[in-house]
Amino acid sequence: MRHPKIVELASRRRLRGGRLCRLLAILACAMITTATVPAGAQNEASGTAAQTAPSPASAPASALLANDTLENVAKMSSERQVKWLRNAAQSGALEQMDVATLTALFQSVEPMTVPRYIEEGPNGYPSYEFTMLRQERIRGAWPRRPDHMLVRLTRDPLRIYGKWLPGGPHAGQEVIYDASKRADEMYGHLGGIFNIMPLWTSINGALARSQSNHRVRDLGTEFIAQQFLDEGRKFAAAGITRPAQIDVRTIDGVRVVAFTYETPTGQPEYYAKKEVLGLDLRHPYFRTAESYGNDGEIFERIVFLTITPKTFDDMAFDPKNPEYRF
């Protein structure tokens, strides 16, 4: 764990000269930004997540963003840092920061700030559509190409429609899950002859597990957030309070702050020996996740390309929908 004085000195060095001026300019822009993003969502050309209209920052929060340097943020309590991060994300200030500033910021916050930021959420939306890339090591084999998926999801009750898009190894497959009708089963065509003949199958059965180590219920940003929080409690018990590495990455067009956590013993005590989680710069959820086994090889990789809040009618989760090919 890095000593607080070292963190403070590192932050000061990074903020000297032009970088401090750029940071103050970015944060000043947050104070004068009063217009919100249009309702619905916007899809950026780079493939980053669609954004909904954030709540406008309050006047005190805007002033805080404009007047505080990273040195002042580092001195705040974890509770105040969480509020600061939320306001900086909603205003767009985080998204505008350069690599050095973002890295210094997340290296300087209290150990519990990011977990609390994620826990307070929201980690997703009541109803939304997303596209994702997903690769998993199944029975020791790592797929040459990732699956490219479109997913529509609502909660209360949990209902999911998933379609494998062109470009991936399972293109054309579809699945529907509706917890209000059959909580333990899903309907779909998942490959082979079943790509022509859809059927009901257990969400924990051999057919469902032939392409994924997860259940269909695990799709979405909420699952990754909850897994991070659950694993974080184990990290804390083992004395791991900070990531082994923090950096900024652009993964398949998605720019994130990447937190690398390394566990002392690995599997089976932990989900993975090493996890790399990419934090969205506008919302308190993770956009990317990579998991590595005890042998150092990657066994799972997820990238959420677009995330769009939407409202769906019942036909979105009905196999009789004429848009679907059941």
Query: Where would I find the H helices in the chain?
Result: 4-14, 18-32, 59-67, 70-75, 78-91, 93-96, 99-108, 113-120, 206-209, 221-237
For residues 51 and 306, the answer to whether their CB atoms sit within 8 Å is no
In terms of Cβ atoms closer than 10 Å to its own Cβ (0-12, 13-18, 19+), residue 182 is middle
Interatomic CA distance for residues 19 and 258, integer angstroms: 21
Whether omega before 122 lies within 30 degrees of 0, making that bond cis, reads: yes
Q: Which residues touch 193 (CB under 8 Å, ≥6 apart)?
A: none
Per residue in 294-304, pLDDT (tens digit) is 999 999 999 99
Question: Where exactly are the structural domains of the chain?
Answer: 4-110, 125-326
Cα angle, residue 65 at apex, residues 61 and 70 outer, rounded to 5°: 135
- pLDDT for position 197: 79
Interatomic CA distance for residues 34 and 41, integer angstroms: 18
- pLDDT for position 41: 36
- pLDDT for position 71: 87
- pLDDT for position 196: 65
CATH number attached to the domain at 125-326: 2.50.20.10
Which residues of the chain fall short of a pLDDT of 50?
1-66, 193
Closest to 278 in 3D by CA, of 269, 266, 267, 290: 290
Return the amino acid letter for 114: V
- pLDDT for position 63: 41
For residues 211 and 193, the answer to whether their CB atoms sit within 8 Å is no
Q: Which two tokens stand for residue 32?
A: 């004068």
> What is the rounded (10 degree) CA torsion for 69, 70, 74, 78?
90
Beta bridge partners of 188: 175, 199
Interatomic CA distance for residues 48 and 274, integer angstroms: 25
Interatomic CA distance for residues 134 and 190, integer angstroms: 16
For residues 149 and 162, the answer to whether their CB atoms sit within 8 Å is yes
